[in-house]
Structure 1
Amino acid sequence: MSQKLLNFGIFCFFASFDYNKKNFAGYDLKVAIIGAGAAGIMAAITAKRINKNIDIDLFDANSGIGKKILASGNGRCNISNSQVSEKNYLGENPEFVSYALKQFTFNDFEKFCKSIGLLLDIKETNKVYPLSNEAKSVVNLLQLTLEELDVNIYTKTFIKDIEKIEDKFDIKTDENEFKGYDKVVISNGLGAAPQLKANESGLDFASKFGHSYNITYPSLVGLQTSEVYGGKLQGVKKECNVSLYIDGNLEQEIYGDVLFTKYGVSGFAILDISQLASYHLSLYQDVKIAINFFPKINRNDLGDQIQSLFKSVPNQRAVDLLTGMVSNKIAPVLLDICKINIETLARDINAKQIKAIAYQLNQWKLKVIDTQGFGHAEASGGGVRTVEIDNRTYESKKCEGLYFAGEVLDIVGNRGGFNLQFAWASGYLVGKNLAN
């Protein structure tokens, strides 16, 4: 493909959106974007491509941009999901995301990626990765695009305070003061991954300008349980059905792998169910999970299979025979829970005990007492209340010229690229409106 044809394709992509066609020649607009994650980067690129006369300062506390992008997908970068809807999000008002997702669809995101030289690998699961299979390539291309557009990037710069004097914003760090911004974007996320300098300063800034926020909580995170069995089950992993109970009521069911740990449970099924579990923990509700090790076998049939197993080899210990259907770490703990001596022979297990074993394997209940915290969480729930944000522009309803994008808002996505897709989409809307 010739360079002219490529440039024309890029032009057509951005021209396809309903941009304001105002002539910006000689128009001086100064913008600060706090947080150089996916949302902040997208806002900067979008705004600069529409209005080249806009002066953008992009700030981040880290030594480089896109640190959470680099960490996503275990370094492979689960950059998006090809099938996204508001059903993939949680928050006080999940439908808030609908307009952004319609204005910046996955197809639009794919075109954007091509415009910066990034090709995508769309999996059958709808998860999307860079074709390079490296998160670093994503960040490198975003960095090159920002530099080409003359966005001013300030790394290792932690913003301490924002003030608005008349119609201009001033920003303060420990060492410097940046003055005279017409617009400010808060896109520096929340507390997930503090090792990447994540913090909740965005909530402090929001509060200063009259915003309220909902309590934050770790999301997509391992769960601590009151029952840890002395660490005897640590390392056991199995695909199971996991049910979430809130105050005794069934709230959610998810199938996937469960990993027992020294603190409780993890694994993909647990990360998925942790979103609601963590939210209800933050409200001090009773949270329990029930693990079904054999979801494709009903309890009665499972009992019959155990009985048949014990009858076939009656002179062996029951604990040894059980290792033919569950992990050798699970078998002794299972008998202990059912109050059966570990030395009991299969022939001496009665019908009531078999029923108890089958029930435990079908409903292995654990009380959730906490999560592994923000340090182990992939995302944060809670944040700035979306009722106070214009869902079409992402501008504050409390303060003209103040915008929010990404995780700092009370929106959190499911596992599988949904959080990044919301970051891209919200950043796009912000960028579009920064330039107008």
Structure 2
Amino acid sequence: MNKVAIIGGGAAGLMAALTAARAGADVTIYEHNKSVGKKILASGNGRCNIINTTACRDDYFGADPGFSAYALQQMPFKTFEKFCQTIGLLLDIKDDGRCYPLSNEAKSVVLAFQTAVKEAGVKIVSEKRVSGIAKEGKQFIIESDQEKAAYDKVLIATGSEAAPQLGATGDGYDFAKTFGHEIEPPYPSLVQLHLDSTIHHKMAGVKTLAEVTLYLNGRPEEKVQGDILFTRYGISGLAILDVSQKASLALMEYQHVAVGINLLPRFNRQALGTLIEKLTVAVPNHPLETALTGILSIKVVPHLLQSARIRPDIPASQLTTKEIKKLSHLIQDWRFDIIDTHGFKHAEVSGGGVSTAQIDNKTMESKLVEGLYFAGEVIDIVGRRGGYNFNFAWASGMIAGKEMART
């Protein structure tokens, strides 16, 4: 029977612990928080978008996104669904592929795992931070709070630096480096963005459905639709989170990053021009600023006109054909430079991490140190929004758990 230590009681760690214990291993989880699954509890606004039925290699980023493919193949959705049934967890499957616990509460997920690992005989050492991992002969020595214990195999599933208020740390990177592993620089992902602008804070609170185009060095890189929210620091919303991975990585690489916002994606450029023209005919004597509030937020219009260099107080009837074209273009591609992200504290996940070049993707074992494994977000794999990061955490945890139980 292998004696296994798992550092980190998040999604990957819990899955690995349960898989290994069910396969006969003697498993101990080290979790420095008061209890396991703290980040799971906060996911999906407390609902836990637990997985996505459509996950594939194209939904992931990193130095080698293809590293994720084998794990995803080993745990397709039907396999995960059957696993959930073994721990008493039923799923609510949405039309877009997202899945939530049927209870619609993340607490259900954590409770199901807590109960299952306890039944499987897993020991949980909580509120003790691992201060060091060393290998002596064929065994690993785990040190925590001046106590030492020996194990045959170790899994590092510590997650990333995202959401430090939930106990996230970069400890896993430090442990990996002590064994010679390289770390791809971490960066916040699924995170809000800071704008280089003098007007965004004046529109704080404005939320609307928009189309967002990410520009890197002036070239369009990605286009998504979803809600956006202007804030005092910049911009947020689901569409912004969707482009934030590429934006954050580009900022770290000192590229020029900008977003183009289409405030009225329902219309093509010509139809929008016709709409504005009809509006000026309908209320010819209204100040232009007032007339445009018929199609755009009252907090947005004055700043849009300022950007277009069109006087807000002229009668609507005085808007020229040239100005209508200019205004239509700006409404559908209002550019803002991005200068920063809102940081790890507000990020849902992190990109970067332990280099996949030094991990066997079929076992999750280190290629440098026999008996050392990695799973989940500590690895240089980050997914899109919508449950994809959980997909990889569950799948990589399952593979690592199986392998660590092998004698």
TM-score tier (shorter): over 0.9
Work out which of the residue numbers 45, 64, 78 in structure 2 matches 1:74: 45
Residue 142 (structure 2) pairs with residue 171 (structure 1) = yes
> Structure 1 pair 430/230, CA: closer, same or farther in 2 (3 Å)?
closer
Matched letter for residue 193 of structure 1: A
C-alpha distance in structure 2 between counterparts of 1:327 and 1:105, whole Å: 44
SS where residue 294 of structure 2 aligns? coil
- Encode CA deviations 1:305-346: one digit per residue, 9 max, x unaligned: 212211222111000010000011111111111222222111
Aligned to 1:162: 133
- Any idea what SS the aligned residue of 1:160 has? strand
Residue aligning to 1:31 = 4
Query: What is the letter of the counterpart of residue 245 of structure 1?
Result: Y
- What is the CA–CA distance in structure 1 between the aligned matches of 2:310 and 2:185, rounded to whole Å? 45
Matched AA of 1:314? P
Matched, 1:141 2:112: yes
2:16 is aligned to: 43
- Structure 1 residues 279-288 or 338-347, which shifts more? 338-347
Q: 2: CA distance between counterparts of 1:261 and 1:402? A: 44
Measure, in 2, the Cα distance between the counterparts of 1:389 and 1:101: 16
CA-CA distance at 1:256 after TM superposition: 1.0
Amino acid at match of 2:309: K
Letter in 1 for 2:366: S
Q: Which of these residues, 202, 216, 219, is aligned with residue 232 of structure 1? A: 202
Q: 1:44-63, aligned counterparts within 5 Å? A: 44-51=17-24, 54-63=25-34
Q: Which residue of 1 aligns with 2:263?
A: 293
Closer, same or farther in 2 for the Cα pair 1:106/1:403, shift >3 Å? same
**Alignment partners' CA distance in 1, 2:368 and 2:198:** 47
Query: 1:122-133 counterparts in 2 under 5 A?
Result: 122-133=93-104
Cα contact 2:383–2:389 (8 A) shared by 1: yes
Residues 170 and 177 in structure 1, CA contact (< 8 A), matched pair in contact too: no
- Is it true that 1:375 corresponds to 2:345 in the alignment? yes
SS in 2 for 1:225: strand
1:55 Cα deviation from its structure 2 partner: 1.8
1:273-292 aligned within 5 A: 273-292=243-262
Letter in 2 for 1:162: I
Corresponding residue SS for 1:328: coil
Deviations 1:370-426 (A, max 9, x none): 111111111100111101100100000011110000000000111111111110000
Runs of 4+ off more than 3 Å: none
**2:65 alignment partner in structure 1:** 94
1:64: which partner in 2? Answer: 35
Which of 247, 256, 276 is residue 306 of structure 1 equivalent to? 276
Aligned partner of residue 254 in structure 1, secondary structure: strand
Q: Which amino acid aligns with 1:312?
A: A
**Contact kept in structure 2, 1:228 and 1:263, CA below 8 Å:** no
Task: Give the Å deviation of 1:161.
Answer: 1.1
Match of 2:90 in 1: 119
Q: Distance between the aligned counterparts of 2:81 and 2:321, measured in 1?
A: 59
Paired residue secondary structure (2:310): coil
1:237-386 pair list within 5 angstroms: 237-386=207-356
Q: Report the secondary structure of 1:243's partner residue.
A: strand
| Alignment gaps of 5+ in structure 1 | 1-27
- d(CA) in 1 for partners of 2:267, 2:105: 40
Distance 1:177 1:56 in 2: 17
Q: Give the drift of 1:227.
A: 1.4
Partner of 1:6: none
Deviation of the 1:167 alpha carbon: 1.4
Q: How many residues align?
A: 406
Residues 16-41 of structure 1 deviation map (CA, whole Å, 9 limit, x = unaligned): xxxxxxxxxxxx42111000001001
Deviation at 1:228, TM superposition (A): 4.7
Q: CA deviation at 1:230?
A: 5.7
**1:376-415 correspondence to structure 2 within 5 Å:** 376-415=346-385
Contact 2:43–2:49 (Cα < 8 Å) also in 1: yes
Q: In 1, Cα distance between the equivalents of 2:402 and 2:2? A: 14
Consecutive unaligned residues of structure 2, counting only runs of 5 or more, are: none
Aligned-residue offset at 1:294:
2.1
8 Å Cα contact 2:173-2:378 kept in structure 1: yes
Partner Cα distance (2:361, 2:200) in 1: 49
Q: Secondary structure of 2:130's match? A: coil
- The CA deviation at 1:70 is 0.5
1:40-59 alpha-carbon deviations (Å, 9 max, x no partner): 011110011111xx221101
Give distance in 1, aligned partners of 2:196 and 2:264.
23
Change in 2 beyond 3 A, CA 1:264/1:230: closer
Shift of 1:269: 0.6
- Tell me the TM-score normalised to structure 2 length: 0.98
- DSSP-derived class of the 1:394 partner: coil
How many Å apart are 1:231 and its aligned residue? 1.7
Does the 8 A contact of 2:200 with 2:231 survive in 1? Answer: no
Which range is displaced more, 350-359 or 131-140?
350-359
Secondary structure in structure 1 of the residue aligned to 2:335? strand
Q: CA contact under 8 A between 2:142 and 2:149: conserved in structure 1?
A: yes
Equivalent position to 1:203, from 153, 173, 194: 173
| CA distance in structure 1 between the aligned counterparts of 2:273 and 2:330, rounded to whole angstroms | 11
In the superposition, relative to structure 1, how do residues 314 and 125 fare at CA in structure 2: closer, same or farther (>3 Å)?
same
Distance 2:402 2:102 in 1: 28
Q: Does structure 1 conserve the Cα–Cα contact (< 8 Å) formed by 2:214 and 2:259?
A: yes
1:323 partner SS: helix
Distance 1:420 1:301 in 2: 42
- 1:33 aligned counterpart, secondary structure: strand
Shift in CA distance, 230/287, structure 1 to aligned 2, threshold 3 Å = closer
The whole-number CA distance in structure 1 between the counterparts of 2:26 and 2:268 is 64
Alignment of 1:4-15 (within 5 A): none
Deviation at 1:179, TM superposition (A): 2.4
